[in-house]
Structure 1
Amino acid sequence: MATIKNSVRLMGNVGMDPDVRTFDNNRKMVRLSIATNESYKNDKGEKVTDTQWHNIVFWGTQATMAESYLKKGDAVIIEGKLAARNYNDKDDVKRYVTEVVVNEFVKISSKE
């Protein structure tokens, strides 16, 4: 049960091609976003789709696999944990971001 404390599972579509970075120690990181959609009917009976965007981060072997196999439009399932961080942008404004750090992922389908 210890791993349930910070666990996220999402199924969605990749919103951008992987942004790949390699650091001095040859450690690789990949960032991308995925969109999840939830549909429901409003009070008027009209179908409404709510899209949520999620920041996703892959490290190491998972990053290498994401770089090789994922591209914009692909359907994917990811499992990972939430991580919050902050940074100062180019205008020295403090920004806060929450990301999903991936433990595992499965590509469901390709856009092609």
Structure 2
Amino acid sequence: MNITGRLTRNAEVRTLSNEKQVVNFSVAVNDGYKNRQGEWVEQTAYFDCAYWISANVARLLTKGTLVELTGRVSTRAWTGKDGEARAGLNFHTSQIKLHGGSNRAETVQATAQSENDGFTAEGTEDDLPF
């Protein structure tokens, strides 16, 4: 599955007890539709994302960056401290394409290289207004 949205916060790298690292970030995906009255209705879905392939990509994942993600979706449910039921969406990311940040005018594609646990970045000029 693919989703495209903007990061809502800077990515964070966590190191687990087995020394494995995971990059965690959140993405907002906007969508819209016309209701029966012909009015445009905007909807935003928030995904908590995890990327396990390379922690090096975290420095590129900053708040406001437009990203296209490939991976799979899962749901989670829990009871909040207030006793209310809560639910959320997780996105287990296998590929990340960066389409510039809020202050960048270039497209960057980060591709995981499993053999050296790194990534490569290719930049192309773009005439985006931001």
The residue identity in structure 1 corresponding to 2:10 is D
Q: 2:41 matched to 1:64?
A: no
2:28 to 17, 28, 35: 35
List gaps (5 residues or longer) in structure 1.
Answer: 1-7
Given the superposition, is the C-alpha separation of residues 17 and 43 from structure 1 closer, same or farther in structure 2, using an over 3 Å criterion? Answer: same
- Whether the 8 Å CA contact 1:27–1:60 is kept in 2: the answer is no
Segment of structure 1 superposing worse, 69-78 or 81-90: 81-90
In 2, distance between residues paired with 1:42 and 1:75? Answer: 27
In 2, distance between residues paired with 1:101 and 1:21? Answer: 15
Higher RCO structure, 1 or 2 (CA under 8 Å, sep 6+): 1
Structure 1 runs (4+) deviating above 4 angstroms are 83-91, 95-98
More helix by percentage: 1
Give CA deviations for 1:37-82 in whole Å, capped at 9, x if unaligned.
1122223322211111111101131x321x1111111110000123
Name the residue aligned to 1:108.
99
TM normalised by structure 2 equals: 0.63
Matched residues, number: 103
In 1, distance between residues paired with 2:45 and 2:75? Answer: 17
In 1, distance between residues paired with 2:88 and 2:24? Answer: 13
RMSD over aligned Cα atoms? 2.8
Name the residue aligned to 1:99.
90
Name the residue aligned to 1:54.
47
In 2, distance between residues paired with 1:14 and 1:86? Answer: 22
The residue identity in structure 1 corresponding to 2:16 is F
Name the residue aligned to 1:81.
72
- Whether the 8 Å CA contact 2:46–2:89 is kept in 1: the answer is no
TM normalised by structure 1 equals: 0.72
